[in-house]
Structure 1
Amino acid sequence: MAVTKIWPIKGQLHHSINYIENQDKTSSALVSFEDQSLLAVMHYAADNAKTEKRFYVSGINCNPDYANDQFITVKKQFDKEGGIVAYHAYQSFAPGEVTPAQAHAIGLELAKELWGDNFQVVVATHLNTDCYHNHLVVNSISFKDGHRCRQAKWYELQAFSDRICLAHDLSTVENKIRKSRSQHETSLSEAGMPTRYNLAKTAIDEAISKSCNLQEFNSHLKALGYSTQFNPKRKYWTVTLPGWEKSIRLARLGDEYTNERILERITENSPLVRIKAFQERKTKSQLSHYHVKKPRPLIYGSLYKLYLHYCYRLGIISKRRQNPNRLYYLLRDDLIKVGQLSAEFRYLGQNKIGTIGELGIRKNKSQQSLEVLIINRDNLRKKLRRKVPDNQKERIKAQISATSNQIKSLRREVKLCERIEERSIKMRENLQTINKEERRKEYYKS
């Protein structure tokens, strides 16, 4: 059984700057930051300690000893030195399933089938773990026509690997499932926090419970602000949450959300679901005789009060935890960004910022301080390049580190101010829409 993975290699500018400024380096310090990233992955893949003194290192369309220079030469030839510099893939076998020679031969065969006609590849077999595994470094630019590599998809790599393993009488990966959610969304969902996936599930369940046919289901979702694609000819139905551009395939939400299952759930409903919502609204609440304190009217001229009112609506600063399912649909999406909202609200309160004008003054001061600190850090780096005593060198390095921390903090503050300016516009629009809907409902009730 061989497990595979592939990811792009990009240049890291701050790593390269530190490398270039090192006084112990000589001619290699003139190499660009993209080339340094490529050189680092080459050294890792062909590590002597992991490859039995490079016995299991081979090159396809290149010499593995000079692969880094040959990769760069191809990039310079076609004037494509930026962006993705290479692709790094691995192919790992189960313990005891293959010998080192077999693992290396399979890795070479995989590289030749996928990239051997157009790209340079270095294949190295690592033997430092119980699972023998191949590392493959692929040049992102073709040596034939200068086109960028497009055969760098996980499922393509896994399919080729499985076919080669079967030809060598080896096992393959069962139940290959590609994750449709990011690690961040998965961790939020496990912690019980709202994500766009469980918000979509809630909205779809609510719409299904009120519908007797597909047209009604579509109408209920659109009333909640969702964009839908329910064409019967489409293989996968999709919905797009309000405020998002990327759609969600309903089939990825679970077995209960496939096209066929949604139609079954809708047809199982009784026609009485159409009037259920009206009956619930006519029912008088048993707690109507208690006085419920309503939030004060929003003063749109105050930025701090705008955030205060918005956070109250979301339940962030309320004594009672807000149920995401009972929120207005325009507010549900902001529950995903509750961490950002809390940070922005605390920043406004700690710095006593009440209006957009005060926020702009604060941002301008931070930007001016940021420009001064960047100039000071550049001057310190110039001093460090000169011949100075070791004790002064350490003091200058400490000053550079402290200045970098201040620059990092100010950049975060400027970004936070810009985010508040953008979000405040959307918040005002959402609250105005909600107030209009509430006044309309009150009018029809009366």
Structure 2
Amino acid sequence: MATTHIKRSASASRLVNYAEKRAVLKDGLNLDVDYAKSQFKQVREVYGNQGKTQAYASRISFSPKEFDPTNEDDQQKALDIAKEVYQKTYPNQQVALYEHADTDALHIHAVIGAIDLETGKKMHGNWQEYREKLVHNTDEIVQKHGLEVTYADPARYEKRSMAEIKMQDRGQPTWKDQIRQAVDSTMSNPLIRDFQTFRDDLKQKAIDVWERGKDLTYQLTGTNYKARGKKLGTAYEKGAIYNELERRTRDQQRTISRDAKRRTKPLQRADKDRQSKDNRRTAKDKQRPTGQQQHVENPKRQPKPDRSRDYGPSR
């Protein structure tokens, strides 16, 4: 089973210095890992995009039950798997990989350059989405290699007081659980794509929600029971909710754009065929001698002769 982690850093060189010291193996993506610091700096200078965030520190750690830190074959295999994960997740970033074997678990430190090599722009912090993408790709790839996937720890997403834990042990739901369940139900509906719809749906579940500074506040309608998102857990914080709603909106827009392109393809093909025929006809007309008629008209029909004089009057 592999676990993952990612956070921002103001110094790529500091991350490299730390990771390189104890590395038993190292590798790189879109850079020469032996010159990682200078190449990170070079890209920042080329794109003129210095800023506060230079890189992202990430880590993949493997279970001791799957890889032996002292086994060289296991060390190479773990590094290859990590490289595959980061190649899929950050194909346009510089990534320096350093494997450590100084604990019970083999783990790979990744220093990810902040700048996208295709666009020249920086990754900007939708942290839940970044982490979920990294976890998803890690699970997919380790499973392909016959390893166990990572199981989410609910404690990371739900924060509970000691009183809540005791009530949970007694099988007694709390008012915070009521809010969590309502939010989970609302967010499970893929049609919820903006904050107003999110708020309206919760209102029908007897939950009021509003923005307050950097977080959201939830309240049981008609009571004094209310809590900030960070008190309920990371999945209920303002950033997590907004990031998910924005992701759904982007996905919907991409779907609409893709469908529109699919619908216009037959029309574009017909227009192209018609234009091609017109071009061929024009080219053929240009090849004809000047003055030659392009179309022969039907000869004018002559009137029938009057034969009544030859045969006498009709009876």
User: Do the aligned partners of residues 171 and 8 (structure 1) sit closer, same or farther apart at CA in structure 2, a change above 3 Å counting?
Assistant: same
Distance in 2 (alpha carbons) for counterparts of 1:119 and 1:234: 44
Distance in 2 (alpha carbons) for counterparts of 1:232 and 1:128: 49
Matched-pair contact (CA < 8 Å) for 2:12–2:55: yes
Q: Is 1:80 the counterpart of 2:49 in the alignment?
A: yes
Q: Is 1:109 the counterpart of 2:84 in the alignment?
A: yes
Distance in 2 (alpha carbons) for counterparts of 1:59 and 1:235: 50
User: 2:102 is matched with which residue?
Assistant: 128
User: 2:63 is matched with which residue?
Assistant: 94
Q: Is 1:44 the counterpart of 2:13 in the alignment?
A: no
Q: Deviations over 1:177-214 (max 9, x none)?
A: 47346xxxx59x4599xxxxxxx948x89xxxxxxxxx
Distance in 2 (alpha carbons) for counterparts of 1:177 and 1:60: 33
Once the 2 structures are TM-superposed, how far is the Cα of residue 148 of structure 1 from its aligned partner?
A: 1.2
Matched-pair contact (CA < 8 Å) for 2:56–2:112: yes
Q: Is 1:240 the counterpart of 2:217 in the alignment?
A: no
User: Do the aligned partners of residues 232 and 146 (structure 1) sit closer, same or farther apart at CA in structure 2, a change above 3 Å counting?
Assistant: same
Matched-pair contact (CA < 8 Å) for 1:42–1:137: yes
Q: Is 1:137 the counterpart of 2:111 in the alignment?
A: yes
User: How do residues 43-442 of structure 1 correspond to structure 2 at under 5 angstroms?
Assistant: 43-47=17-21, 50-52=22-24, 56-98=25-67, 99-116=74-91, 118-149=92-123, 153-177=130-154, 179-180=156-157, 189-190=161-162, 201=175, 229-231=199-201, 239-240=209-210, 246-248=215-217
Matched-pair contact (CA < 8 Å) for 2:210–2:218: no
Q: Deviations over 1:55-93 (max 9, x none)?
A: x10111101111111111111111111121100100001
Counterpart residue type for residue 229 of structure 1: R
User: 1:353 is matched with which residue?
Assistant: none
Structure with the higher helix share, 1 or 2: 1
Structure with the higher strand share, 1 or 2: 2
Give aligned-pair identity as a percent: 25
Counterpart residue type for residue 240 of structure 1: W
User: Do the aligned partners of residues 238 and 71 (structure 1) sit closer, same or farther apart at CA in structure 2, a change above 3 Å counting?
Assistant: farther
Q: Deviations over 1:218-267 (max 9, x none)?
A: xxxxxxxxxx92437999965238x65632568xxxxxx9xxxx9xxx9x
User: 1:22 is matched with which residue?
Assistant: none
Q: Partner of 2:99: helix, strand, or coil?
A: strand
Counterpart residue type for residue 110 of structure 2: L
Distance in 2 (alpha carbons) for counterparts of 1:59 and 1:247: 41
Q: Is 1:7 the counterpart of 2:7 in the alignment?
A: yes
Distance in 2 (alpha carbons) for counterparts of 1:236 and 1:149: 38
Counterpart residue type for residue 159 of structure 1: H
Counterpart residue type for residue 7 of structure 2: W
Matched-pair contact (CA < 8 Å) for 1:92–1:133: yes
Query: Structure 1: which 5+ residue stretches go unaligned?
Result: 11-36, 193-199, 206-227, 251-256, 267-324, 337-446
Query: Structure 2: which 5+ residue stretches go unaligned?
Result: 68-73, 165-173, 180-197, 232-315
Q: Deviations over 1:305-330 (max 9, x none)?
A: xxxxxxxxxxxxxxxxxxxx79xx9x
Once the 2 structures are TM-superposed, how far is the Cα of residue 165 of structure 1 from its aligned partner?
A: 0.6
TM-score (norm 1): 0.37
Once the 2 structures are TM-superposed, how far is the Cα of residue 95 of structure 1 from its aligned partner?
A: 0.5
The count of aligned residue pairs is: 192
Matched-pair contact (CA < 8 Å) for 1:230–1:237: no
Once the 2 structures are TM-superposed, how far is the Cα of residue 132 of structure 1 from its aligned partner?
A: 0.2
Q: Partner of 1:41: helix, strand, or coil?
A: helix
User: Do the aligned partners of residues 239 and 140 (structure 1) sit closer, same or farther apart at CA in structure 2, a change above 3 Å counting?
Assistant: same
Q: Deviations over 1:94-116 (max 9, x none)?
A: 11302111110011101111112
Counterpart residue type for residue 172 of structure 1: V
User: Do the aligned partners of residues 74 and 236 (structure 1) sit closer, same or farther apart at CA in structure 2, a change above 3 Å counting?
Assistant: farther
Distance in 1 (alpha carbons) for counterparts of 2:32 and 2:112: 13
Q: Partner of 2:54: helix, strand, or coil?
A: strand
